[in-house]
Amino acid sequence: MIKKTDLLAIGHTALDSIVLVKEFPSPNSSTLIKQIKNFDGGAAANVAVVASALGLKSALVSAVGDEFKASNYHNKLKTMGVDTEDMIVIENEKTPMAWVFTDSNNDQISYFYWGAAAYFKESEPPERAIKKATAVHLATGDPCFNRRSGEVASEFQKLISFDPGQDLHMYSPEKLKSVIKVCNILFGNHYEIDRILKTLNMDITELRSIGPEIIVKTYGKDGSMIYADKKIKIDSILRTPVDPTGAGDSYRAAFLNAYLNDKDLEYCGKFASAVSSFIVEAEGCQTNVPDYNMTIERMKEKWDE
């Protein structure tokens, strides 16, 4: 019997180094590192972990090095119930690594070592994993692999969400448009959505007309905006920020959780805002992940629901 999953996340699993600096240096200069810590990360893995913590049956497809299967990270994913059966394991390669630099204004600059993820483009779409899933989330990763995976998911009439994230610069206009055409929900922060609109020479209405009926644009501490049949503004739940890394991924996982449970879009945004408020309270993308009940309590504190 095939084990069904609610949400399949496709994209990066990575080892993160979170680096705190007072300010970013200009070219040909340096700056003092205040702190550096190592964490489990990767946008697709972050989505799968948060989705699982909130009660969804999640699965993950990433390209990882041959050391990953024996790692503590992989053991943690299995303990949390994340299905890793269809992971792409590359012999004699390393699992991707990310260095995320955060300054005193909570602005970020990221450097990413693809390692095993460079083999995404040579890999076949994970058809077996896609067939088992109700929804497929295309996170940061190789544009060609995401396009092919999105096309397969569309053939099987899956709910498809797409978040190119920091890999947006890798998409040609043609590849970007081809993935957006097959997705039902497009996620991005305000920089990314604005760049997509500029790249495709479209406004929000035109972008929705070619594929995603729902576009979610996040603004960090200033909340988020949901574009659907109507525009919905969602406030953030402000907490003292320790590290913003991973807040966006948790927002996406939480939004999809609520959406797959047939909640209206305003509820989806509020639920997502509540989950992401936990993530910023601790260092690392997967350090302070709430469960469903914790999230509902925080929603009640904000909106008395």
Q: Annotated active-site positions, please? A: 249
CB 289 within 8 A of CB 56: no
CA angle 286, 288, 294 (to 5 degrees): 125
As to burial, measured by CB atoms within 10 angstroms (0-12 exposed, 13-18 middle, 19+ buried), residue 161 is: buried
Phi–psi pair at 218, nearest 5 degrees: -100, 150
User: What is the C-alpha to C-alpha distance for residues 164 and 144, in angstroms, rounded to an integer?
Assistant: 12
Instruction: Find, among 265, 260, 245, 244, the residue nearest to 292 by Cα.
Output: 260
Instruction: Find, among 280, 278, 271, the residue nearest to 303 by Cα.
Output: 271
Instruction: Find, among 262, 277, 270, the residue nearest to 305 by Cα.
Output: 270
User: What is the C-alpha to C-alpha distance for residues 52 and 202, in angstroms, rounded to an integer?
Assistant: 35
Give CA separation, 68 vs 16, 74, 230, in Å.
14, 6, 44
**Residues sharing a CB contact under 8 Å with residue 144, sequence separation 6 or more, in sequence order:** 120, 121, 175
CA angle 75, 132, 51 (to 5 degrees): 50
| Beta-bridge partners for 46 | none
